[in-house]
Amino acid sequence: MADPAPNPIYVAVDTPDLNRATALSAALADVAGGIKLGLEFFTANGVKGVHQVASASGLPVFLDLKFHDIPNTVAGAVRAACETAPGIVNVHAIGGRTMMTAAAQAADEGARIHAVTRPLVIAVTVLTSMDQTDMAECGIVRPVADQVRELAILTRDSGLDGVVCSAHEAAMIRAACGPDFKLIVPGVRPAWAATDDQKRIMTPAEAIAAGADILVIGRPITGAEDPVAACRRILAELPK
């Protein structure tokens, strides 16, 4: 019999509170596919905090620090991040080809230095909290989808493993970058959840149908009265 599809839900545990993050991650161990730790958690708790959450849940960790700096600095950050044994690390695609290539090479080196499995290296295209108006204010006036497409192709050509994008661009990137290119999709909102600051959103079922490999979902789960029940409810909404 074929292996069942992996649980695609990575819960964004966005809190500076190590005890809360640890308890939440442990509670979600049976209903989530992974834990996503970002800037808020890492700034407060660092490498030790990541180890604590990872061992509490036993789930893979997406270390979402979105590095964007000169190539040498990003490479050093990716090498250092490997100490946390993350399943996924990421950079901003807008940092360009040389920076992304350096990040990919640094993941090889970091995995060797820290004797861990090499993490996937992913690039953020355009943040899901931004729409056409936000982009225009930053001087980017072409359609968001065109910007995302060009950055996704640059990411693939730089040797990275995939991108962070909204579900709106998932099918287009899948067609442009191929079946093995990982599509990690935040900005996911069940019909019953608030939109918050996300602008390019889709429901979990729509995002999977569009081709997402991983759904990053935070507040609809972590802000719920019963986060485990909320995660289960989302899981039940996904196509079987």
Ligand X SMILES: O=c1ccn([C@@H]2O[C@H](COP(=O)(O)O)[C@@H](O)[C@H]2O)c(=O)[nH]1
51 is known to lie in a ligand binding site: no
Site for ligand X contains 128 (CB under 6 A): yes
Interaction of residue 102 with ligand X, rule CB under 6 A: no
Give least dist CB 112 to ligand X, A: 28
Separation between Cα atoms, residue 180 and residue 173, nearest integer Å: 11
- Tokens (6 digits) for 146: 């065109």
Rg (CA), the chain: 17
Q: Is there binding between residue 186 and ligand X (CB under 6 A)?
A: yes
User: Is there a catalytic annotation at residue 64?
Assistant: yes
Q: With beta carbons less than 8 A apart as the criterion, state whether 97 and 65 touch.
A: no
Told to check if 162 binds ligand X by CB under 6 A, we report: no
Q: Which of 33, 34, 38, 87 binds ligand X (CB under 6 A)?
A: 38
Residue 180, annotated as binding a ligand: no
Q: Which of 15, 20, 9, 17 is nearest to 56 (CA)?
A: 20
Tell which phi-psi region holds residue 58, choosing left (phi > 0), alpha (psi between -120 and 50) or beta: left
Binder among 12, 106, 167, 173 for ligand X (CB under 6 A): 12
Out of 17, 30, 48, 66, the active site residue is 66
Stretch that binds ligand X, among 70-78, 98-106, 120-128, 169-177 (CB under 6 A): 120-128
Catalytic-residue membership of 48: no
User: Which of 234, 188, 232, 235 has its CA nearest to residue 210?
Assistant: 188
Is 62 marked as a binding-site residue? no
Query: Does the annotation count 69 as an active-site position?
Result: yes
Among 102, 145, 163, 164, binds ligand X (CB under 6 A): 164
**Least Å distance between CB 43 and ligand X?**
12
In one-letter notation, the amino acid at residue 71 is P
- Residue for token digits 């990872």? 54
Selected from 34, 71, 187, 211, the binder of ligand X by CB under 6 A is: 187
Q: Which is nearer to ligand X, 111 or 171 (CB)?
A: 171
User: Which stretch, 68-76, 132-140, 204-212, 214-222, contacts ligand X (CB under 6 A)?
Assistant: 214-222
Residue 26 exposed, middle or buried by CB count within 10 Å (0-12, 13-18, 19+): middle
What residues contact residue 7 under an 8 Å CB cut-off, 6+ apart? Answer: 31, 32, 33, 34, 235
Tell me whether residue 67 is annotated as binding: yes
Q: Which residues have a catalytic role annotated? A: 64, 66, 69
